[in-house]
């Protein structure tokens, strides 16, 4: 048989086996599901280093030490956050209103796994699915297939040992585009969790099945005049070098104000930033994007010195991040787009209002709905940014890569970050187990039809209230509103 046909048949066989597990899991109370999740989290944490080494060896992306932390985030940290949550069974009752809410698993979950965070995302999605009583079939990125399937096998073994049905956690072994399409479009799939490239996410939304996908990240980091500049730069450097920039929430550009630009640049150099010359920026730009305008995978997850060498120029020893001064934003400018490596665009604006506009332009260019970070001690500026920026996560005074996934903030730990409607996503949340359940509502009758009719007749007999007129016209109100916004400097 042809490889594509064999892979499609494998998906059909996996679905058939998982359907049996789906029916078995429907009978599991939350406590029994939690026991399975605890076992998976423990096994994932115990193998965090081994899986990190597998991922780096297979993909060439990132750093082992950082992938260990991501594996712990996807296993132990995720479980610790959700262990007391009740997402299936009776969730709440309101005896006064006569209503009850019951959490019901969505069914079989199709989980797409990227090559940038392969083992950590697999652990994280498995815990979410099992917590919600959903069996899961993983579709691995071909570039990280070995590490992903090793993680799937580890999870399945731990889950079955803890009482889960055989087949509750599965992975496609014969990876082809046709296999992924067959999984996404299968009528027995209840939900798709799509983490990966834009093409895969779009395919998930076109499948006809419910899907939660994520968009590209392109978050700017705004350093305001009120920022603690050394701390802000440290956070950015820590974030952009963490796993060599492979977390999509990481900063992609720095935007700062003219009045603090000199201090920011000196601090960036002191902490390992290297400002490219115009010639070096051109060489690196030619490397970052391929001819079709897509990201060059050769640069993904590589350290700064290695990327510079690929581009054809040397950098000083100790260089951590490459920075390119920019004045334009557009799809053809790689410095204004997502770069999953230690490379940053650098913009200087006259004042915070112009910086605000620049951040919006960067996000509209790519990454709308995802994440950005602001470094400031002026709460009024933070609130103005929060009200205006088209993002789902505005992080304040923290490394974006770690803050976005909940490691350094109070956000839920997650390796799938929703981008909301503005980013073409079904949710703006850090995705959790509640996204994998439906709510069944039970409602007891409280009134009879004759009572409704009697009430309607009574209401109709009452004198209709006089229409109130406003003291100002709509045009006068709009003009006054504009004047207030201009005085506040809201952009």
What is the rounded CA–CA span in Å between residue 181 and residue 186? 8
> pLDDT at position 196, please?
80
Asked if 195 and 140 touch (Cβ cutoff 8 Å), the reply is no
Given the DSSP bridges, would you call strands 99-105 and 89-94 parallel, antiparallel or unpaired? antiparallel
| Phi/psi at 40 (5° precision) | -65, -45
Whole-number Å distance between alpha carbons of 288 and 343: 9
Q: What is the pLDDT of residue 49?
A: 98
For β-strands 136-140 and 169-171, DSSP reports them as parallel
Residues contacting residue 410 through CB under 8 Å, at least 6 positions apart = none
Q: What is the pLDDT of residue 458?
A: 75
Phi then psi for residue 89, to 5 deg, are 80, -165
Domains by residue range for the chain, with CATH: 3-214+431-440 (3.40.605.10), 220-407 (3.40.309.10)
Over its length of 491 residues, how does the chain's per-residue pLDDT go in tens digits?
699 999 999 999 999 999 999 999 999 999 999 999 999 999 999 999 999 999 999 999 999 999 999 999 999 999 999 999 999 999 999 999 999 999 999 999 999 999 999 999 999 999 999 999 999 999 999 999 999 999 999 999 999 999 999 999 999 999 999 999 999 999 999 999 998 877 888 889 999 999 999 878 999 999 999 999 999 999 999 999 999 999 999 999 999 999 999 999 999 999 999 999 999 999 999 999 999 999 999 999 999 999 999 999 999 999 999 999 999 999 999 999 999 999 999 999 999 899 999 999 999 999 999 999 999 999 999 998 999 899 999 999 999 999 999 999 999 999 999 999 999 899 999 999 999 999 999 999 999 999 999 988 877 655 555 555 555 666 766 676 666 566 555 54
Q: Assess contact for 381 and 224: CB atoms under 8 A.
A: yes
Which one from 248, 341, 356, 359 is the annotated catalytic residue? 248
- Is residue 248 annotated as part of the catalytic site, yes or no? yes
Q: What is the pLDDT of residue 63?
A: 98
> Which of 72, 1, 81, 68 lies closest to 34, judged by CA?
81
For residue 198, the model assigns a pLDDT of 78
């Amino acid at each position: 048989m042809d490889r594509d046909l064999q892979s499609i048949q494998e998906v059909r066989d996996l679905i058939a086996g998982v359907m049996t597990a789906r029916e078995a899991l429907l009978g599991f109370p939350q406590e029994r599901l939690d026991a399975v999740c605890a076992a998976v989290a423990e096994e994932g944490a115990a193998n965090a280093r081994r899986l990190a080494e597998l991922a780096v060896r297979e993909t060439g992306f990132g750093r082992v030490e950082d992938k260990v932390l991501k594996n712990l985030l996807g296993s132990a940290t995720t479980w610790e956050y959700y262990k007391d949550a009740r997402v299936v069974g009776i969730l709440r009752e309101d005896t006064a209103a006569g209503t009850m809410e019951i959490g019901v698993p969505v069914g079989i979950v199709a989980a797409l796994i990227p090559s940038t965070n392969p083992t950590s995302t697999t652990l994280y999605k498995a815990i979410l699915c099992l917590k919600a009583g959903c069996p899961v079939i993983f579709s691995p990125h071909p570039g990280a297939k070995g590490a992903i399937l090793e993680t799937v096998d580890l999870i399945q073994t731990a889950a079955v040992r803890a009482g889960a049905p055989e087949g509750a956690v599965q992975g496609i072994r014969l990876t082809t585009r046709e296999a992924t399409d067959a999984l996404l479009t299968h009528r027995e799939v209840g939900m798709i969790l799509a983490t990966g490239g834009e093409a895969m996410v779009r395919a998930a939304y076109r499948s006809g099945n419910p899907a939660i996908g994520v968009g590209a990240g392109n978050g700017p980091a705004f350093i305001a005049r009120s920022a603690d500049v050394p701390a802000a730069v440290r956070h950015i450097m820590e974030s952009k070098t963490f796993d060599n920039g492979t977390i999509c929430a990481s900063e992609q550009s720095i935007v700062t104000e003219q009045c603090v630009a000199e201090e920011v640049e000196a601090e960036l150099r002191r902490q390992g930033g290297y400002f490219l010359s115009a010639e070096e920026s051109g060489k690196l730009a030619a490397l970052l994007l391929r001819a079709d305008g897509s990201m060059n995978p050769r640069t993904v997850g590589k350290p700064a010195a290695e990327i510079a060498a690929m581009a054809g120029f040397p950098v000083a020893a100790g260089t951590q991040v490459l920075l390119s001064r920019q004045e334009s934003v557009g799809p053809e400018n790689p410095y204004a787009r997502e770069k999953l490596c230690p490379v940053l665009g650098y913009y200087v604006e006259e004042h915070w209002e112009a910086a605000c506009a620049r951040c919006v332009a960067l996000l509209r260019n790519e990454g709308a709905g995802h994440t950005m970070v602001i470094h400031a001690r002026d709460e009024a500026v933070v609130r103005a940014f929060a009200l205006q920026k088209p993002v789902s996560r505005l992080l304040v005074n923290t490394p974006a890569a770690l803050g976005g996934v909940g490691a350094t903030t109070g956000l839920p730990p997650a390796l799938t970050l929703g981008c909301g409607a503005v980013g073409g996503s079904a949710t703006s949340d850090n995705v959790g187990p509640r996204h994998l359940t439906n709510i069944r509502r039970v409602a007891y009758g409280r009134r009879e039809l004759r009572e409704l009719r009697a009430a309607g007749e009574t209401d109709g007999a009452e004198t209709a209230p006089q229409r109130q007129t406003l003291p100002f016209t709509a045009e006068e109100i709009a003009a006054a509103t504009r004047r207030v916004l201009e005085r506040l400097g809201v952009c």
